[in-house]
Every structure is written in C-alpha cells, then in structure tokens.
Structure 1
Amino acid sequence: MKSILIGLAALSAAVGSVPAQAHVVLDKPEARIGKTFKAVLAVPHGCEGAATVRLTVQVPEGLIAIKPMPKPGWTIDVKKGAYARAYKFMHGADLSEGVKEISWSGRLEDGFYDEFTFTGFVADTFKAGDVLPIPAIQDCEKGTAKWVEIAAPGQDPHALKYPAPLLRMTSAEPPRGVAKGDIIVSSGWSRATPGGAKVGAGYFTVTNTGREPDRLIAASADIAETVEIHEMSTRDGVMVMRPIEEGLPISAGQTVALTSGGIHLMLTGLKAPLVEGKSVAVTLQFERAGKMAVLLDVLGVGAQAPGGQPDGAKAEHAHH
C-alpha cells in the first residue's frame, strides 16, 4: 500500500499522445478513514475531439467493498481479485477480496461532460494526510489518455500533463472549530492572569485539510500590544524560549497542537487581565488561508488544558 501513497513513491507512466485541455478529477477529493465514501470522477472532454468510449478506474489497495453506479446507456465490467491483506469491515466482517478495477463502456461526445461514480469503504490502515492516486484510463474513438501521473516529492502536481485523480485521507472524526480555506483551528484556550500581569499565553490546534502546505506567519489581539509565535524547549537542562520568526509550517494533512510547554502564542503588553470564564479574541494570519478570527476560552490561573495537558504556564511566564 505504501508504494502508492503520494510522497512515498513517484509513479512514472507512459501516456497517450492526446493533449489534455482539462483533467479528469474527483468531484470530492477527500474520504474519511474507517468510513464509507462516494467517489465521483468528472470527465470534461474527449480525445482531440474524439468521443470517449470507455473509462477504466484502477482501485487502490485499501479501498474496499467497491460498488460502481450504473449509468444509462453504459455497460459496466468489473475485475475482482484478492487484497494484499484482510481488512476489517462493518459488523466485524473481514474482507480479503473485492473489486480491483471498474470499466464503464458507452459513448460520450467530446462536447459534453459526464460523471462516473463508485462507492466503497476506506480501510483503517491509513493515517490522516495520506493521499491515494486513483488511476483512470480514458479510451476514445481515436486515442487514449492515461490519467496516471503522480508528482514527485517537491514537484507541483499542476505541472503534470496527465495527473492521476487524488483522494486524500482525513481523520475518522473531523476536527471542530473555525475553518477558512483548508485550515481548521480548534480547541483554543488561555489561562487567567492576575491583575497587573503583562504577559499571557494562547493555545489551540490547527489542522491543514488541503493538498498544499500552509504557514502561520503572524497573530494579533486587541487586548495585547504584541502577539508572537513562541517555542519552548529544554537545552542542557535549561528551559529556552524563542520566537519563531519564520512562522509555523503546517504541512498538507498535518495537525499541529500549540501547547503549554511547547509552541504557543505569547501575548505581551496586556492592556487588561485575562478573566476566567471569558474569551480572548485573536486574529491569526496564515500564508495561504489568510486571516482567521478565533476565540481562546480563558480557564483558571492554574488550569490544565482540555484533555488534561500538564501545566506549563509558570515556566513560560517565569522565563519572560
């Protein structure tokens, strides 16, 4: 399975001589791990004006219990085979074989658009952020387009002539919080500060659900003169705090937690104390997603983070 995951291996495949005007893509390029999914492949054109007569989809390992949707005027052929391993399915069932390839045969004129659909189940062997290519072969009355190319690490997938449709794996339970673009910010919190305190801290979790990396480059809050992204670490037994001036990278499919005792927001020059039971409004600036307004729930002075995270506030504030 790993050999077909994006970033773990690059697939180089020959393609036909048909120039691509638009790509064959998945209507919804995400699926949740351990859940059923529906894949809709959009075919926007034929081959140099020639009608499409067959679309063949190769099902990647780890997508199981596949069922294609019938299309009026088209016939469906499926090829079944053994999986590389047995997979857990619903109601405690184990599946060791299933559909490995689907072919729809019919006729779609070059001047028309159509969709080809199949459903299935995502095995729990994936991790959030894994990306599967869904190789698709488009046969036309004249010519063939093989949508099977995969970008090498660091290569822009948009530069490929015949890119394979991609399906990104997401967590079984999607994160809840404020979303903008591909970024989701959740579980924001802070600690109450005593009167006269000039320093506070902020914590939250940020998830990048997209295909491209992003970066948290700045933050601000009306209640503080400055808000910086800081990192705390221990070197030679000494706790060291430093600002992350280059910003915090959030890779595609990655979740990063800002925590007490680790990476966090440092609010300096507080204009008023942080009061337990209230919220602090903070604006985050991402390189791709742009600005996001989030709220940090203010807990007690010595409170732990939701979920029982250890208390590291004293060390942070003592350092400052």
Structure 2
Amino acid sequence: MSSSLLRHSTLAAILGTGLAIAAPAVASAHVGVSPDSVTADESAVLTFSFTHGCEHSPTTALRITMPDGLASVSPTVDADWEIAVERGDDGLVDVVTYSATTAIPSDLRGAVSMQVRPAEDAPESLAFPVEQICETGSTAWVELAEPGQDPHALDAPAPVVRLAAAEDSDAEHGEHAASDAAASDSESSDADAADDAASAPVAVVLGAGGLVAGVAALVVAILAYRRRAA
C-alpha cells in the first residue's frame, strides 16, 4: 500500500470510528498546534498541546497522523513521553504516537513536539488528525471546517497549519532589515548631532580666546608707539 493511500485509509478509519466518541468531549477542550503557519521547504518545530481528557479522564497517549506534503518528520525526544513511529512504503513518517510515562490529569496542560519540513509542493494547509487516548475512552480531533465556516464552531477540530509562501517570509525579513537600517541611521544622526553640540562650546571658547589675544596685541602695539613718540 502506498504512503498516500495509507494516510487516507488511516484518516478514514479515524473519521469513521472517532466522531461518535468525540461528541461527549468538553466544548472548550481541543488539541492545538503552534505555530499555525510555516514556510514551504523550511524546517519548523510544531508543538501540539491539549487540556482536558476524555470526559475528564486522564490522557495516556496522542496518536498524530501526518498529512500529505511533508518531506520529513522528526519527533522530539522527551522523558515524559514514549515515542512510536510508523512509516509508509516510501520511508516517510505516517503516524507518531506519544505515550505518556505518567497519565496527564484533565486539569493540566500537556504538550508534545516534532520538527517537520513541508515539501515545496505541499498544499496551502496541512491538517494533523489527532486521536487523544485516555484511561477511559478517547477523542478524535479530526473535523475540518468547510469554506467560510468558523473552525471554532466545530466540536472536535483537527489541528491545522497554514503554509506561507517563501516570498512572504522574505518580505517580512526585508521589512525587518529596512526597519533596522532606519533605526541605525537615526542613531547615527543623533550621535552626529550630539558631537556637533559637544564641539560648539569648544569653538566658542577658542574664538573668544583668539579675540582676547588680538585685543591684547593691539594694546601692546599702541603703548609701544606712544613710548617711541615721547
């Protein structure tokens, strides 16, 4: 079975069996992902966090299915979680299961992370279906919003990461560079103004000193002339 077919069959199985389980989930509970935007063909660390369990039952594992469009996936080693990786025929990671070494109470926040690199031809959004497994029951976070639908209105939304174009990222870097350059020019102008202000009193003193010396020389010349005339 190809990797793509395996992913779709896994997602279909979750959708088929998980939505009924997801219905009793607490409305405010969800599995979120951060950041929610990454750049194609660049590595990024995604953190999947959750609060609440299944009907307040402690969480024992998170099973995360990878979407099509990822060139690489590297789960982060964490002493609080045991990690199991399932790969497709193409060698790419299809599913990552994080099993908690100690069940996480429903009133505490839990999180797992992985480094991913979207392929150059990845779709505009990447959905990560997550099955939250608890001591009693489980919740499938697999729902996707329809066009124009508010994702927050879903009972069990899947974490979704938007793919930003590389040029958008370059533009942001360019704006930051221009801002830094403007700040540097401003600081340089302020420094020049400060130097000019500091040198102004010195110039005044030197000018006054020259004037006094000139007057003294004139007085000496007049006195010498009078002596010769007498």
Q: Work out whether 1:117 is the aligned partner of 2:113.
A: yes
Question: CA, structure 1 residues 161+61, in 2 after alignment: closer, same or farther (shift >3 Å)?
Answer: same
Q: Work out whether 1:169 is the aligned partner of 2:163.
A: yes
Q: How big is the shift at 1:19?
A: 1.8
What is the correspondence of 1:138-153 to structure 2 with a 5 Å cutoff?
138-153=132-147
What is the correspondence of 1:1-320 to structure 2 with a 5 Å cutoff?
14-15=18-19, 16=21, 17-20=23-26, 21-82=28-89, 96-106=90-100, 107-126=103-122, 130-173=124-167, 174-176=169-171
Asked whether the equivalents of residues 64 and 96 of structure 2 are also in contact (C-alpha less than 8 Å), the reply is: yes
Q: How big is the shift at 1:126?
A: 2.8
| Rg larger in structure | 2
Q: How big is the shift at 1:71?
A: 2.0
Q: How big is the shift at 1:156?
A: 1.9
Q: How big is the shift at 1:47?
A: 1.6
Q: How big is the shift at 1:177?
A: 6.0
Q: Which of the pair is proportionally richer in helix?
A: 2
Mapped partners of 2:83, 2:147: distance in 1: 35
- Counterpart of 1:97 in 2: which secondary structure? coil
Asked whether the equivalents of residues 12 and 150 of structure 1 are also in contact (C-alpha less than 8 Å), the reply is: no
Partner amino acid for 1:45? H
Q: How big is the shift at 1:153?
A: 2.1
Mapped partners of 1:77, 1:126: distance in 2: 25
Asked whether the equivalents of residues 104 and 110 of structure 2 are also in contact (C-alpha less than 8 Å), the reply is: yes
Taking only the aligned residue pairs, the percentage that are identical comes to 28
Mapped partners of 1:177, 1:75: distance in 2: 38
Q: How big is the shift at 1:158?
A: 1.4
Q: TM-score, normalised by structure 1?
A: 0.45
- Counterpart of 1:151 in 2: which secondary structure? coil
Asked whether the equivalents of residues 18 and 143 of structure 1 are also in contact (C-alpha less than 8 Å), the reply is: no
Mapped partners of 1:28, 1:98: distance in 2: 22
Partner amino acid for 2:58? A
Q: How big is the shift at 1:149?
A: 0.2
Q: How big is the shift at 1:118?
A: 0.6
Asked whether the equivalents of residues 48 and 112 of structure 2 are also in contact (C-alpha less than 8 Å), the reply is: yes
Q: Which of the pair is proportionally richer in strand?
A: 1
Higher relative CO (Cα under 8 Å, sequence separation at least 6) belongs to 2
Task: Flag structure 2 segments of 5+ consecutive residues without an equivalent.
Answer: 8-13, 176-230
Deviations 1:235-264 (A, max 9, x none): xxxxxxxxxxxxxxxxxxxxxxxxxxxxxx
Mapped partners of 1:70, 1:108: distance in 2: 18
